[in-house]
Structure 1
């Protein structure tokens, strides 16, 4: 267990940053909903020009990607995938998720799509590294 913590320390730290990003997204969404007096539990019916809509989608997209990233990272830890690859790809994934979040908030659609794509490629890279370790 100690070797896992040492070898994958950057990836594990990136998990902490990813958790922080999720908390920030939750706070941004909740504060925005409260300020707009949006009834909790009701759909946001506006479109991408509305910040509440974008905050809702940013949070939702992160929630959609988080389980996959955690499953991939767990798989890589278990099979002993290359720590160098996993650490760097996980850091790239978290940076891409942070970029995706910020670009969603700022309504930078092309940059948001690029950030999403970079994060997806990072997950694919981690998967490849995991399968290569089998």
Structure 2
């Protein structure tokens, strides 16, 4: 699974699934991935911000049009640096309580943030700030 996008700090399903399956989760961050596509976000003057926000809430993500090479889904060439953290073992639990899921999500976010900070300068992004929404 690849976690990301708006609201990732609230998405706990991957932690719950990993716990139910007895699987590890591995923090991974790809530096440069935002260079692979251009994007267009609908908004004024064509559509109101209120409409865009309502649609975002309804579909659970920001409505974006991603454009790759020649306007296709093929990504633009970009230098990617992928940082891979250590596997995080999670306890197996068929029906994990919400507070346990949140505890392991917080741990995952802390590991991902530390991974980002350790590798951002070497990847060419020393001034980049990670924001998990």
Shared fold (TM-score greater than 0.5)? Answer: no
TM-score by length of structure 2 reads 0.29
Structure with higher Rg: it is 2
TM-score by length of structure 1 reads 0.29
Greater relative contact order (CA < 8 Å, ≥ 6 in sequence): 2
**Larger % of strand: which?**
2
